[in-house]
């Protein structure tokens, strides 16, 4: 029997699948929602994810890799993009296409600025530049604590310099 304290809601993350990768997306499907932030700290991330999950469940769809990209558009807003395997009714459906790079980081969120600079240098070392940058928080804080790892993946749409 699993107690509430033992409950894990986020699947384990395998960093080697995403660390230091370059890949192409061709009309990769996502649904979007907005999260209110206070100086970049999400305030209603959980409720946004519940809204998205409800739409996915209702449509009998899946979330490939449990991929959810975050785009911090300001100190006060973050757009989230949840990967899905088909169009979802009653959701804002979008697609992303192009060349992307990803790099995995592990540690406290206070290192995000340092990770962002490292990510841009990593992309630059490949002869590319970042056009648009996203972050993927691979687990909720409770699951990160249970797993003992807080993985964050930077995903950037890139172009040749």
**How is 2-26 classified by DSSP, letter by letter?**
--GGG---SPP--GGGTTTEEEEEE
What percent of the chain shows pLDDT beyond 70? 95
The pLDDT tens digits of the residues spanning 109-131 come to: 889 999 999 999 999 999 999 99
Question: Where exactly are the structural domains of the chain?
Answer: 4-160
The pLDDT tens digits of the residues spanning 98-111 come to: 999 999 999 998 89
CB of 156 within 8 A of CB of 131?
yes
pLDDT band per the 50, 70, 90 thresholds, residue 8: low
**How is 124-158 classified by DSSP, letter by letter?**
HTTTEEEEEEEEEE-S-HHHHHHHT--EEEEEEEE
Is 90 exceeded by the pLDDT of residue 7? no
CA–CA gap between residue 96 and residue 71 (Å, rounded): 13
CA-closest candidate to residue 28, choices 90, 70, 87: 87
CA–CA gap between residue 158 and residue 71 (Å, rounded): 15
Topology, domain 4-160: Multidrug-efflux Transporter 1 Regulator Bmrr; Chain A (3.20.80)
Is 60 exceeded by the pLDDT of residue 44? yes
Enter the pTM of the model.
Answer: 0.91
The pLDDT tens digits of the residues spanning 22-35 come to: 999 999 999 999 99
């Amino acid at each position: 029997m699993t107690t509430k304290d033992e409950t894990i809601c986020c699947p384990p993350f395998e960093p080697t699948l995403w660390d230091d990768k370059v890949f192409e997306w061709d009309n990769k499907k996502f649904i979007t929602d907005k999260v209110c932030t206070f100086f970049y700290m999400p305030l209603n991330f959980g409720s946004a994810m519940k809204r998205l999950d409800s739409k996915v469940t209702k449509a009998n769809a899946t979330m490939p890799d449990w991929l959810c990209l975050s785009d911090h558009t300001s100190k006060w807003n973050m757009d989230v993009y949840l990967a899905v395997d088909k169009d979802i009714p009653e959701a804002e459906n979008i697609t992303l296409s192009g060349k992307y790079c990803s790099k995995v980081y592990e540690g406290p969120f206070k290192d995000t600025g340092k990770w962002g600079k490292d990510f841009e240098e990593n992309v630059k070392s490949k002869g590319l530049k970042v056009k648009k940058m996203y972050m993927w928080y691979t687990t909720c804080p409770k699951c990160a604590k249970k797993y003992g790892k807080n993985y964050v993946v930077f995903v950037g749409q890139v172009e040749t310099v």
